[in-house]
Chain A
Amino acid sequence: MAVERAPGGTSLIDVLDRILDKGIVIDAWVRISLVGIDLITVEARIVIASIDTYLKYAEAVGITGTISRPAVSSGEGSGSMGSSTPVASRGTVP
């Protein structure tokens, strides 16, 4: 059985998973103020807060330590919520 490659736009989940918080990201409150502020007249400008590129290939051993796997027995907490997406940096909203 060969695996078919599905074009990007076929799964909404896959799309949202990428476009909402990855790539070139302007923090939400800036996004809102851009709509209200003319950059030139207010003399505000957009600057880089951080740049990351990820050009490493997974190390064969220990790679799965960073992803959480669901606990098998429901009695034991999986503790998987801690490692979610890095939206924490949006905490700068005034």
Chain B
Amino acid sequence: MDEAAQPVQPDGEQGKYVYCIIRSESPHSFGAVGIGRRNDQVYTVHYKEFAAVVSNCPLIVFDPTRENALAHEHVNELVMKDFTVLPMSFGTVFRTENDIREFLKGTYEALSDVLGKMEGKIEFGLKVNWDKDAVIRELEHDDEEIRRLKEEIFSSTSSSSYFSRMQLGRVVESALQARADSYVSEIYESLRDAAIASRSNKPIGDKMILNAAFLVAREKTRAFDEQISDIARKYENKLSFLYTGPWPPYNFVNIRLKLERAER
């Protein structure tokens, strides 16, 4: 090993950062890619048939900086190549391996159930943007009512145009909504056969009409890719597609944990 790879040992207490849970009874190592820039080894802590994928880390609350967030995601992606993962949300640190085993023990049934449901499945992300101005121009061309209102506004010189403008705004808005809805449902419809489940998140910004995640069986990845390419071709020049993945099934698993005083 070269010197740069030597972990720096800062003062202070050490903990275990947890990236995800997998099903595995034998120990695994995923390389010196742990969070926190210290080249910590990523390895597994086991309870029965489950394992937490962890690395040593300082016992601190991690900030979701770019570097930390990408380190968390990178480990998940590495592990995902060979395992079905239940991803931990960012920043989960335990003190000791024993605490992690206690955690796996306490959540055993839930993990078993959810891992079973996610077995062999991965997530893909799809964001779809449109050129809203182009769509509005198109609507002005196609929609009779919009055309008529525009003519009214142009031809009238006085007060009546105020009402027409308001109405035009409303009509255009609902026509846009209808068009976005129809694009979105066509997209969902064409991906239905290749995906198991879908979730729609809130679109970001005013050009986005769809911000969705799809759960896909690993062996259907290629079919899903092809479906995405097909719709992208179909809507070329109208919509732009941002297609990402594979991701751990973040959008399809939500297990919330709390701390409880143990009763003895």
Contacts and interface: CB of A to CB of B under 8 A. Distances in A.
Interface of B: prevailing SS: mixed
A34 B94 contact: yes
Interface of A: prevailing SS: mixed
Interface in B206-264: 206, 209-212, 215, 225, 228-229, 232-233, 236, 241-262, 264
Contact of B262 (A5, A8, A43, A67): A43
B148 interface: no
A57 B197 contact: yes
Contact of A27 (B206, B229, B253, B258): B258
Q: How large is the interface on B (under 10, 10 to 19, 20 to 34, 35 or more residues)?
A: 35 or more
A73 B199 contact: no
B124 A5 contact: yes
B260 A44 contact: yes
B46 interface: no
Given A38-B95, A50-B256, A54-B199, A23 B86 contact: yes
A22 B209 CA distance: 22
Contacts of A5: 124, 225, 228, 243-245
Contacts of A8: 73, 76-77, 125, 244-247
Interface in A10-43: 10-27, 30-35, 37-40, 42-43
Interface in A60-89: 60-61, 63-64, 66-73, 75-76, 80, 83-84, 89
Interface stretch (B36-44, B150-158, B182-190): B182-190
A47 B110 CA distance: 10
Nearest to B85: A23
A47 B261 CA distance: 10
Q: How large is the interface on A (under 10, 10 to 19, 20 to 34, 35 or more residues)?
A: 35 or more
A9 B114 CA distance: 24
Contacts of A6: 242-244
A75 B106 CA distance: 52
A80 B202 contact: yes
B29 interface: no
A66 B253 CA distance: 19
Given A8-B76, A21-B89, A45-B259, 4 more contacts: A15-B70, A23-B87, A32-B61, A58-B198
Across the A-B interface, the 5 shortest Cβ-Cβ residue pairs: A23-B87, A72-B173, A70-B206, A18-B250, A73-B169
